[in-house]
Structures are given as structure tokens and as C-alpha cells.
Amino acid sequence: MKKIGSQLTVAVVCGLLGFMLTYQFQLLSKDKNKISSNDYNNTQITVELEQLKKAKADLEKSNSELMEQLKKYEESVTSNGDMSRELKNQLDYTRMLLGYTDVEGPGVIIYINPAPDLFSADVNRQLLTHSDLAYLVNELNFAGAEAIAINDSRITSQTGMRISNGDAYIWVNEEKVSPSQRITIKAIGNKVNLSSALDFTGTLTAGNLGFYDITYEKSDSIRIPKYNKVYKNEYIKPIKE
């Protein structure tokens, strides 16, 4: 009887072990399938992102080529008389104001560097946000800035700024700006007025700017690239008098 009882006990134990091994194998198979599915999804997302980047680059290249072609047409027209030449000058001036041409001139360059203690337990409160960048742009505009760029992305009347991905980066003109890396802001205008605005008490410490090491320098020659996007106007219309 003892022998039979021992054999039954061993059989039950073996059965339980077999069940546990089978169950564990099924779990591992599900995890493997899940990982494979996630890898596939990640691969698909990566491919789609690369395709979108290529499409964006192609559109920007096409836009630049069209602008160059239009410039050639305008230059050929201006050879016909002073009136055409004046119209061409007005068009060039308008493009410059809209941000469609590279510009240069005197102004200031601001360097926003993350402070060493930026990544503390209260990181969400300390990271720079789109509101902080918009505040600086507004201060520079109020001081008479004629052209502004954030990380060489031209600021125009249609520039939007938005924090994203849990404050990991800021969208500026559909370009990512990381608040955990150096941010450079260029502004062309009267150097004295711009620097006075930056030196005003509280300007460079407002909001989360106070958690960063911010310096600036005045320069006699600053280059700001053109706005490489296309203006979208679907709803505004000129008023016919």
C-alpha cells in the first residue's frame, strides 16, 4: 500500500509539473508573439516616419525651386521699365517681412543652456515650455526685433509652438526643440534696444527660464534663414471696397 501511495504521489506531482510547464510555455509563446508584434509595429512606424520625412524634404525642395523660378520670371519682367522694377522691389520687401528670404543684420544671440541641477525630482516644473519660448519671442518683438529664429527655425505670423510627448520636446514650425538641450534664439534689430529688453529685471528669469543658464551676446552680423514652410490661408479674404 505504501508503494502504491508513493507512486500515486509521484504521479500527481509529475502531472502538476507537466501542467505548470505547459502553462509556462504558453505564456512564453504569447510574450514572444507580443514582442514580435511590437517589433513589427515599431518597424512600421519607423518606416512611415522616414517616408514622411522624405516627403517633407521633397516638398520643401519643390517649394524652393518654385520660388527661384518665380524670382527669375520677376527679374526678366523688371528689365522692361522702372515701374516693373519698383513692383519687384516691393515684392522682395514683402517676402522679407513674410520670412521667405534669408536675412542678415545686427542684433542679439541668446543661448539657453540646461542648468546642472535641472534634472531633479521636480523635473516637470523645471523644464522649459512653449510658453517660455513664446514669452521671449514676444519680448524681442516688443523691443523691435525685425526677424527671429529659434534653433534656425524662422518665426513668422503663422508660427505655432506646442509642448508634446510629456514635455520631452517643443514643436516650433513642426520642428522639434528639446528643452533638455541648448536652445539658440537669434534676433535681428537694434542691438541696444534688444539687449536692454533682455537686461530688464525678470526677463530672463520669468517662468521656467529661471532654471536655465541663459546668456546672450550682441553681434553686428547675424544670419537668419528663410521660412521653409508654405503659408496656409483658407479663410481670410481681402475686403473689396
Q: What is the structure's pLDDT at 82?
A: 66
User: Which range of residues forms the domain containing residue 129?
Assistant: 107-224
Same domain, 119 and 83: no
In a domain, 173, yes or no: yes
CB 154 within 8 A of CB 60: no
Q: What is the structure's pLDDT at 182?
A: 95
228 DSSP assignment: -
In a domain, 140, yes or no: yes
Q: What is the structure's pLDDT at 216?
A: 96
Same domain, 83 and 131: no
pLDDT digits (tens, 9 = 90+) for 6-54: 444 444 444 444 555 454 545 445 554 554 445 546 666 676 666 666 6
In a domain, 64, yes or no: yes
In a domain, 199, yes or no: yes
Q: What is the structure's pLDDT at 153?
A: 94
Same domain, 121 and 218: yes
What is d(CA 158, CA 97) in angstroms, rounded to the nearest whole number?
Answer: 13
Same domain, 66 and 150: no
What is d(CA 110, CA 215) in angstroms, rounded to the nearest whole number?
Answer: 6
CB 189 within 8 A of CB 145: yes
Interhelix angle for 82-98 vs 2-78, to 10°? 160
The strand order across the sheet containing 183-188 reads 153-154, 147-150, 183-188, 103-114, 212-224
Same domain, 85 and 176: no
pTM of whole model > 0.75? no
In a domain, 203, yes or no: yes
Q: What is the structure's pLDDT at 113?
A: 94
Residues of the chain with pLDDT under 50: 1-17, 21, 23, 25, 27-28, 32, 35-37, 40, 123-124
What is d(CA 108, CA 186) in angstroms, rounded to the nearest whole number?
Answer: 6
The CATH number of residue 166's host domain is 3.30.70.1880
Q: What is the structure's pLDDT at 120?
A: 56
Same domain, 175 and 146: yes
In a domain, 231, yes or no: no
Domain count, the chain: 2
Q: Which amino acid is at 230?
A: V
In a domain, 168, yes or no: yes
Same domain, 179 and 117: yes
Same domain, 171 and 86: no
Same domain, 111 and 220: yes
Same domain, 84 and 124: no
In a domain, 150, yes or no: yes
Same domain, 111 and 219: yes
